[in-house]
Amino acid sequence: MPTNAEIADAFDQIADLLEFQGANPFRVRAYRNGARAVSLLSESLASIVADPDRSLKSIEGIGDDLAAKITTLVTTGSLPMLVELQAQVPHSVLALLRVAGLGPKKAAALYKELGITSLDDLKKACEEHKVQALKGFGKKTEETILAGLALAATAEARTLWAEADDFVQAILEQLKSASGVERLAAAGSYRRGKETVGDLDFLVTAADAEPVMDRLEHFGAVSTILARGDTKMSVRLRNGMQVDLRVVPAESFGAALQYFTGSKEHNVVLRGRAKDLGLKLNEYGVFRGEELVAGRTEEDVYRALDLPWFPPELREARQEFNWAAAGELPKLLELADLVGDLHMHTTATDGQASLEEMIEAAQARGLKYIAVTDHSKRVSMANGLDGARAREQWDEIDRWNAKLKGFRVLKGIECDILEKGGMDLPDDVLAEADWVVASVHYGQNQPREQITARIIGALENPHVSAIAHPTGRLINRRKPYDVDLEAVFTAAKRERKFLELNANPWRLDLDDVACAAAKAHGIPIVISTDAHSIADLSKMRYGVLQARRAGLTKADVVNTRPWDEVKSLGGKR
Ligand code: DGT
Ligand code: CA
Ligand code: CA
Ligand code: ZN
């Protein structure tokens, strides 16, 4: 009988192979979603198939087609479709798809034209400049691939927080139901809200550890049991991520939670402080000699060290101890503080939902206003808007606003900053918009002076409100542009413009450190989802987490304010 992990693997492989063959993206996505749904399931699929009263289709993400495939896999042990696809594509070729700048089409061309079947082959071909000679490639593409190869080697090692979160929620759900569980928590970098996490750390107090460990062992996404002892267990998930589980005594739960939440740097400072107070701190508690003085809760532990409880996002030994000493720990931003979303796309360009659908969805989320910011014409791939089409959309928005009560749609645009500098749309068009986000999408490899000058040029344009994703990085996929952020901050402050924290979990741009620096310059931050679908509107929470790590409060963030007040902070003139 195949395990859930094996079934999920089969679906992922099908998705990879279909993608390589250039199949319909919706079909590819159906298999990817299926793989995810299966791997997050706590119940074995084989047992559902065996039960005549149950239907696989009751599982979210599993439709007719996938249900039939699961049944075939469970009952016969193999899947003819997968075998057939595997025969058509050499296995190692699939690694090519994980390189930034290489879509399935280009990967297929490399395989067919140059016989490239591995990342090593690809590196060699780039270095020998064989890739740039191929039709549809060129020098730029070759450089992008080489840079992507370097990242592909280090990526995959750390998992995006958003992806880790899916697993954390499913594991918590799985462990919660074990008999005898008292307290249960996820710690580590996950709890600190770090943009990527290396491994997952769980803590539990339980009368008996065995049932809890059994539950983890049977979690659907587990591929290998690395170790299982009396109080500690480690497993590997099928996506490669390691999960550590520790069983701790109730009187030490707070100390263990504090210790395993970290960061290491934060803990080093704490231990030093304990020592100065004549105390000892470890994962079991705070001790005076042999006597346990605190350990049951984190609050107790910090109090024993004469410190306030720190939100986990701040525990990086950056500013938190200085703030505590001054009695000025910031009250961090919360998701509920945000009342608007100022960057999103519709079907007019590369979004998946219509204007009407986005408006409805934003209202349903309780927002008070949104800016619709479709791409400008330079982004031809996304069918970007020229002045006439932008005005057409804005007329439509006017008609919506005439009908809407207690909700405002702002006439916006995500206007490209051209490679040679300057904006993609003329000033008379931008002047009619309520909100203009300026973005670099092309010429990302330009030298530092040039790219910095382009961004500063946009900040100096009176019609620009904010710079979107100011460094252009994609976590694990693409490096930031070589931009002088200090110079950007100085210009933004001078021009009274906003900078974006793009909440997409791949971007989180500006990042935590840069947001803190922008705040120090007195620049208001706008947190935006850059939604390309209705579901994307829920990504705001990832941006909030990153903002909290930067120490941002409600007052530091533009879109916590009613739209009427936003203007007084700066932005478009
Ligand atoms: P990650 O998993 O690489 O994203 O980062 P963390 O912070 O989750 O680190 P991890 O999983 O190695 O350990 C979890 C926490 O446990 C860490 O933040 C601090 C604590 N810890 C682990 N090992 C040590 C150690 O050797 N010394 C100290 N002081 N703390 C440790
Ligand atoms: Ca960890
Ligand atoms: Ca760990
Ligand atoms: Zn956008």
Query: What's the average model confidence in pLDDT over 525-551?
Result: 97
Q: Which ligand lies nearest the alpha carbon of 192?
A: 1
The H-or-E segment that residue 459 falls in is helix 448-460
Rounded Cα distance, 395 and 393, in Å: 5
Q: Give which of 378, 380, 379, 374 is closest to 351, Cα–Cα.
A: 374
Query: What's the average model confidence in pLDDT over 530-545?
Result: 97
Q: Answer yes or no: is the C-beta of 199 below 6 A from any ligand 1 atom.
A: yes
Report the separation in Å between the CA atom of 174 and the middle of ligand 2, taken as the mean of its atom positions.
Answer: 19
Instruction: Judge if 268 and 285 occupy the same domain.
Output: yes
Residue whose token pair is 């100022």: 342
Query: What's the average model confidence in pLDDT over 306-314?
Result: 98
Instruction: Judge if 368 and 428 occupy the same domain.
Output: yes
Burial code (b: 16+ CB inside 10 Å, e: under 16) for 451-475 equals: bbbbbbbbbebebbbbbbbbbbbbb
**CATH number (domain holding residue 229):** 3.30.460.10
Range of the domain at 177: 159-247
- Closest-CA residue, ligand 1 atom 27, reads 264
Q: Answer yes or no: is the C-beta of 198 below 6 A from any ligand 1 atom.
A: yes
Cα angle for residues 141, 149, 13 (degrees, 5° grid): 100
The minimum-distance atom of ligand 1 relative to the CA of 201 is 11
- Closest-CA residue, ligand 1 atom 10, reads 188
Q: Which of 219, 247, 275 is the last residue of a domain?
A: 247
Residue 385 confidence (pLDDT): 98
Q: Is residue 330 part of a domain?
A: no
Instruction: Judge if 295 and 411 occupy the same domain.
Output: no
Q: Which of 247, 266, 293 is the last residue of a domain?
A: 247
Report the separation in Å between the CA atom of 460 and the middle of ligand 4, taken as the mean of its atom positions.
Answer: 21
Rounded Cα distance, 38 and 9, in Å: 10
Pairing of strands 232-237, 222-228: antiparallel
Instruction: Judge if 363 and 417 occupy the same domain.
Output: yes
Instruction: Judge if 313 and 372 occupy the same domain.
Output: no
Query: DSSP letters along 477-505, please?
Result: TBPPP---HHHHHHHHHHHT-EEEEE--T
Instruction: Judge if 402 and 345 occupy the same domain.
Output: yes
Local confidence band at 239 (pLDDT 50, 70, 90 cut-offs): confident
Convert the pLDDT of each residue in 485-524 to its tens digit: 999 999 999 999 999 999 999 999 999 999 999 999 999 9
Question: What residues pack around ion ligand 2 (CB closer than 5 A)?
Answer: 188-189, 199, 201
Q: Is residue 385 part of a domain?
A: yes
Convert the pLDDT of each residue in 313-371 to its tens digit: 999 999 999 999 999 999 999 999 999 999 999 999 999 999 999 999 999 999 999 99
The minimum-distance atom of ligand 1 relative to the CA of 199 is 2
Instruction: Judge if 493 and 563 occupy the same domain.
Output: yes
Query: What's the average model confidence in pLDDT over 557-562?
Result: 98
Name the domain count of the chain: 5
Per DSSP, what are the bridge partners of residue 292? 287
Provide the mean pLDDT of the chain: 93
